[in-house]
Each structure stands twice: as C-alpha cells, then as structure tokens.
Chains A and B, each alone.
Chain A
C-alpha cells in the first residue's frame, strides 16, 4: 500500500513517564516516527504532542487507535488532511567566510529567516516554516558547507473555526 507522511497531534496528561509510554508504543509495534515534538498546551496539566509518522493508511489508523488506547492520552487526531498550520523551527550553522557571507545573508533574507549567531567562520540561521521551506533553505545553503543542523520537529494546530 501507499506509504505517506501523516501528522498526528495528541493531547496527553503531563505526568512523569507519559512520553516513555508513547515512545514505547511506537517501538513495540514497530511504527516509524519521523519527528516528535512535545510541549505545553492551553490546558494546565496537559501537553500537546505532534508526530509525523510514515506508513500506509491502515498503519497510521492503527497508530492513532493504539495511541488513543493509552490511558494518559486524552485525544488523538490525524490532521494531515485538515485545514491546519504546520511549523517547524530549524537552526542551521553554515560555514561563512567573508567571501560568501553576503550571499548567504541574501538567501536568508529571501526566506525570511534570521541570523542568530555570528562567528569568524560561520553563521547560524534560524528558520521557521513547513517542511518544504526548511528543506529548500537547507538545499541552498548546502554548497557553503553546513556544519550543524538542529530541528524541532513539526508542530501543528488546526486553523480557527475548526472544532476541537
């Protein structure tokens, strides 16, 4: 069957061990997580987890149901096909000797990214966006020599008007 990337969001109890339960489930059932982001939510005592998983629709439906079965999970939604905002933040440290520095800064400008750290030989770029935006920026910076990349993983929220 056709495998594709799906984004799930889960509202979970903010208790010790919950992340472990969730990750253990993925390991135990052999599901593939491409990215996972966890943080607070609008409700005290609850966290929001965003997952990107890869699999055919039957697998992803199983992931959703198995997650929902965990006692600490309040709600799980597959929002891939919903009207939602997806964002990820990446920090990219790129080699930047004086000769190419301005060229890099131009690219950064076009992507509405920021330079958050500068040293003699490198620049650190902060970029926010969806997969393809971050992907193309990384692609463009590649030829300058990328020293390090740190990515948060995708987080998502449904657009206003969509019911909870």
Chain B
C-alpha cells in the first residue's frame, strides 16, 4: 500500500509496539505531526525542551526496559537532544531518537535550522542514520529498534529530511533485520565459565559486584541464586542498585567514591571479584591501579570491549548476564563463607552511615530515609545529579527490583524531573518519587509545564540547600573552602509549582517531614516538596580522587570527635 514517509514512520512505530513518544515539533516535522492524530495508539507527550523529551524517553526506558522514543525537529531541536543521547550511550539505555532534517536538496547548504546531527552524534550513538530514500525508511526503523535494544543497549538516531517524510512509496514492514555485520555474543564461552566456577569454588573471600547489566538482562533471580548458593556477599555499582534485594543479609550496599565504607573494604579485601554487567567506571573503582589488590577478577559482560578496558580481567566471560549466570549457577558448588560474611557484617557495624536519630537539623539523608519509610520502599526513585543523588543511593533501601533510576555515567544535571515523568508514564500504576537538588531541578524546571499539561502524578522532593552542593563540597574539601560560583539564589519553588497548578509545600523542620511526605502521597496528582535542608551538609563516606577504595573519608562521628 502506498504511504508517505510520515505514515510509514508512524506505522513502523506502531509495529514496534511504541505506545508513547516524547517530543517537540518544528518546521521540518510538520508533515509528520500533521498525520499524528491518525495514530491514536501513539501517545505524544509535548515537552517544553528537547532535553526534557530525551530524558523522559530515557526514564521511560529505564523504568520499563522497553525502547524509549523521543523526537525533535532539525537544527536546534536536534542539538538539544545531544545531552540525553550521550547519557543513554554511557548508561546503555535503549533509545530511538528521531530528528527532522531540512529537505534533501538543502542538506549541506547551511539552510535554516540545518545541522549535521548524524555527524554530531556519531561518537555518542550505537548507530545513526540519515534517511535519504523513503523506500529505506521502514527497514531503517526496524534496524534502529533492533540495534537499540539488543546486545548492549544504546541510543540510535534516525535523521529524516522533510521531503522524505512527504515522499510516497509502498509500505511493507520487514519481518527481519538484515545486519550481517552486527553480531552479539550472548552465550558465554563454556571453558571460561568452567574456569570461573573453579575460582568461585575455591575462593575464601569472594565478592559480587552487581552492575546495571543485571537490570538490563533481568537477571536478578539468577544473581540472587548465585549469591545464596555460594554465600557470596553482593555490592552494587550506582546503577546496579535495586538489582539485589535491599534488605538481603548478603547485600552490602554500593561501592565507589561515595560507596559504603564496608562495601569498599570488602572490595579491597576480597580474594575474588565477580563483576557482573558493570564496566569499572572510575567512580566505582577509584584508583584502578590499586583496585581489589588481593583479588582475581571474573568479568561477565555482553560488551567484549569492556573486558580489560579499565581493569584487567583474569577470567573474561562475554555474554548476556542472564544466560551466563544460568549456566554458571548450575556448575557452582554450594558454599558458605561464614568468616568472610561476618567480617563484612563487622565492618558494617563499625562504619555505619551518619546517625540520623540525633539532632534537630533538617538533614537531606533523613528525608530520603523517611521517603523510604513512608512508601515502604514500594516506589520508583528517580534522581537528578549531585549530592542528593548520592544520598538517595545511600539512604534509601531498594527492596523493589529496578526501582532506582539515575544518570550515572554522564551525570547530567536536570535529568531527574523529565526522567521521573517518563518513568511514571511507563509505570502509570506506580508511585514515582523524583528526589532532586535545587540546582539540578532548575536545569529542566520548565518540564513542570509538561507535568501540569499531562497531569503526570510524580512526587517531587527538592533537597534545597541553596548551593550547587556537590561542587561546593569539593570546594570545601579540596579548594580550601573557597566557594566560587556555587551559591544559588533560588526562587520560591512552591510558588513556581503553584503557577503551574501543581500543589506544593515548603518544609523547614525535621518534625514536619513525615507529614509532608504523607501529604504528597495522599494527593492524587503531582506534588512538590521543597525541603530547606542543612546548606553545608556533605556526602560521606568519600574516597578522594586518586586514592584507593579503602582510603575513604568516613562520616564524621560526634563520639569520635569528643574522645
């Protein structure tokens, strides 16, 4: 049947099961938006900025595991997507970004709103396309969705000139993709798995490091089985949080620069590290030369290029985490590492996080713990980037699988609010809390308009300390307390919310926290809580740049100070 490029695009999206797209139109996309009402199956969320659209699509993808789709017009619309595309690339988020482009005769002529978006996004996409022939469009959409969600997921961009959207051709959606050069190793090499099993069976102090790969591969049951069968303690990367039950006796929290002291000590003392679906990011490893110095390393990852990139692996296993663990679990012997696990328990007792029961100060960590308490952990937490992100990682106990959504690799401030929108749209029955900072929140504050227009019922908690807090902390610790351009003048966020027809309250005292959270939960729609938190609270523990994980700066403790 003959269809226009615009129709072919929509039909192809329907074939891919796309239920929502986030975007903003513009001149180059008019032929597409003109026919969008003919496709009521595709919900379109009009964001206020393209960065909001791409982060929302990421939030949707991270929450549901399905491909997120965002759309932007040519030129500035396309360039505004770049931060989110880079973020999706770093964190392996399945994303299809569709951009309008000037008509083919104008390409290369510096036409109005022309930009070389395929050139710009070349190093930050898994693949990208400039569609110059409408007869290739359906095939390209099929390939794009296939590439985005298979193997190590990532963003794929499709740039479509205006005249291609208008051109007509026969529409047939291909059944299969034809990509002979695109290969994925999903089953681990049996000999390597056996070598891994041998190491695991004889290890005395084994440790699992769980990364986002567990969540992507939905391998949480397999992870739990391995940990329990061989009694191996588990620590997570930032993005691996919520892949292993938060209250499990073998869960020893997050490792890394702001990881739990006991998690970091576990890494530095382990004799075997089983790194699963993680990429040895420097925020997780600290100084790689001195990372897990006593351990052999088994690295399981679907991306061969991650093996020995940052930390050399003794036993590399390239494959899908779920498939590999399935085989590994059958071969691994039951074990108990009583002494080792109790050593970790001892460290956990010796190095607890900050004590929040004392004092009257309104501490952000306390708020995070109370959100966890009130919701019973039955919520999805989405964060921005900064101190609040680390507190949300440290102080919330993630009992629900895949309930922590955060931008780890790129660290784009402004991620929280739009990503929370996308998460809630993907999971309309679930409670979604956006834990944000005042700086991060203001980087995409305009999305309050989208939230109001679409009545997206997210709960927003701003840890308002009046600073770009993480940078302030570094200035305090490493630049002799010289606070250069980190102090923020902030507007009244409750009034701003009110202007967007979103109810909110400002919370100044510790004793008001629980009732405020309850009030937000009781409100059927979106709600904003502006917490006036202790301005110069720091994130601890902290491993200073260049140090190894065992050399953390511990949480200051009053009883230690008084001695």
A28: B residues at CB distance < 8 A? 123
Chain A residue with Cβ nearest B122: A24
3 closest cross-chain pairs (CB), A and B: A65-B305, A74-B181, A28-B123
Q: A13-B181, A71-B147, A74-B181 are in contact. Are A66 and B305 (CB under 8 A)?
A: yes
In the bound complex, residues from chain B placing their C-beta under 8 Å from that of A13 are 181
> Which residue of A has the minimal Cβ distance to B123?
A28
Say yes or no: B308 contacts A61, CB within 8 Å. yes
Q: Give CA–CA (A10, B303) in the complex, Å.
A: 19
Decide if A147 is an interface residue (CB 8 Å cutoff).
Answer: no
- Judge whether B305 and A71 touch: CB under 8 Å: no
Indicate if B182 sits at the interface (CB-CB under 8 A).
yes
**Which residues of chain A are within 8 angstroms of B180 by Cβ–Cβ distance?**
74
Q: How many A-B residue pairs have CB under 8 A?
A: 35
Tell whether, in the assembled complex, residue A69 and residue B304 are in contact, meaning their CB atoms are under 8 Å apart.
Answer: yes
A17 to B131, CA, bound (A): 13
- Cα distance A72–B180 when bound, in Å? 9
Q: Given A13-B181, A62-B309, A72-B181, are A24 and B304 neighbors across the interface (CB < 8 Å)?
A: no
Tell me, rounded to whole Å, the shortest Cβ–Cβ distance linking B319 to chain A.
Answer: 15
Does A49 touch B at the CB level, under 8 Å? Answer: no
Who on chain A is nearest to B306 by CB?
A: A65
Residue of B nearest to A25 (CB): B123
* A76-100 CB contacts (< 8 Å) to partner B: none
Q: Are A65's CB and B179's CB within 8 A?
A: no
Other A-B pairs beyond A68-B305, A71-B179, A74-B181, 12, CB < 8 Å: A20-B122, A21-B122, A28-B123, A62-B308, A62-B309, A65-B304, A65-B305, A66-B305, A68-B304, A69-B303, A71-B127, A71-B181
B residues 300-319 near A (Cβ < 8 Å) are 303-305, 307-309, 312
Q: CA–CA, A94 to B122, complex, Å? A: 42
14 A-B interface contacts by CB (under 8 A): A12-B181, A21-B122, A24-B122, A25-B123, A58-B308, A58-B312, A62-B308, A65-B304, A66-B305, A68-B305, A71-B127, A71-B181, A72-B181, A73-B181
Chain A residues positioned under 8 Å from B122 (CB to CB): 20-21, 24
Known contacts: A72-B181, A74-B180. The answer to whether A62 contacts B123 by CB under 8 A is no
Contacts of A17 in B (CB 8 A): 118
Distance in angstroms between the alpha carbons of A28 and B305 in the assembled complex: 15
- Checking A24, A58, A65, A74 against B123 with a beta-carbon cut-off of 8 angstroms, the contacting residue is A24
Interface residues, chain A, with chain B CB atoms under 8 Å away: 12-13, 17, 20-21, 24-25, 28, 58, 61-62, 65-66, 68-69, 71-74
Question: With contacts A65-B305, A66-B305 known, is A71 near B123, CB below 8 A?
Answer: no
Taking the closest CB of chain B, its distance from the CB of A162, in whole angstroms, is 21
Which chain B residues lie closer than 8 Å to A74 at the CB level? 180-181
Is B459 on the interface with A (CB-CB < 8 A)?
no
Contacts of B126 in A (CB 8 A): 71
Nearest CB of B to A12, in Å: 8
Q: Within 8 Å CB of A73, what residues of B?
A: 181
- Which A residue sits closest to B126, measured CB to CB? A71
Contact of A69 with B305 in the complex, beta carbons under 8 Å: yes
**Chain A residues, Cβ within 8 Å of B303:** 69
Taken together as a complex, chains A and B put the C-alpha atoms of A62 and B126 apart, in Å, by 17
Chain B residue with minimal CB distance to A24?
B122
Q: Which residues of chain B come closer than 8 Å to A12, judged between CB atoms? A: 181
Provide the bound-state CA to CA distance between A34 and B250, in Å: 50
Residues of A within 8 A of B119 (CB): 20
Kindly provide the distance from the CB of A7 to the nearest chain B CB, expressed in whole angstroms.
Answer: 20
Min distance, Cβ A20 to any Cβ of chain B, angstroms: 7
Chain B, residue nearest A27 (CB): B123
* Complex interface bits, B162-196 against A, C-beta within 8 A gives 1, otherwise 0: 00000000000000000111100000000000000
Bound together, the chains give a CA A13 to CA B127 distance in angstroms of 14
- Chain B residues with Cβ below 8 Å from A21 are 122
Instruction: Give Cα A17–Cα B125 distance, bound, in whole angstroms.
Output: 14
| Contact residues of B between 304 and 353, Cβ < 8 Å to A | 304-305, 307-309, 312
Q: Which of B118, B127, B181, B305 contacts A62 (CB 8 A)?
A: B305
A65 vs B179: C-alpha distance when bound (angstroms): 18
What separation, in Å, do the CA atoms of A12 and B126 have in the docked complex? 16
Q: Give min CB distance, A64 to chain B, whole Å.
A: 9
Task: State A3–B280 Cα separation when bound (angstroms).
Answer: 24
Q: Which residues of A contact B127 (CB under 8 A)?
A: 71
In the complex, which residues of chain A have a beta carbon less than 8 angstroms from the beta carbon of B305?
62, 65-66, 68-69
Q: Find the A residue at minimum CB distance from B318.
A: A65
Q: How far is the CA of A74 from the CA of B182 in the complex (A)?
A: 7
The chain A residue with its CB closest to the CB of B312 is A58
- CB pair A71–B182 under 8 Å, yes or no, is yes
Within residues 111 to 146 of chain B, which ones have a CB less than 8 A from any CB in chain A? 118-119, 122-123, 126-127
Contacts of A61 in B (CB 8 A): 308
Whole-angstrom distance from the CB of A153 to the nearest CB of chain B? Answer: 23
- In the complex, how many angstroms separate the beta carbon of A16 from the nearest chain B beta carbon? 9
| In the complex, chain A residues whose CB is within 8 Å of the CB of B309 | 62
User: Min CB distance, B322 to chain A, in Å?
Assistant: 21
Chain B residues within 8 Å of A68, by CB:
304-305
Query: How near does chain A come to B157, taking the closest CB pair, in angstroms?
Result: 13
Give residues of chain B (96-122) contacting chain A, Cβ–Cβ below 8 Å.
118-119, 122
Name B304's closest neighbour in chain A (CB-CB).
A65
| Residues of the A chain whose Cβ atoms lie less than 8 Å from the Cβ of B118 | 17
Nearest residue, chain B, Cβ from A58: B308
Contacts of B147 in A (CB 8 A): 71
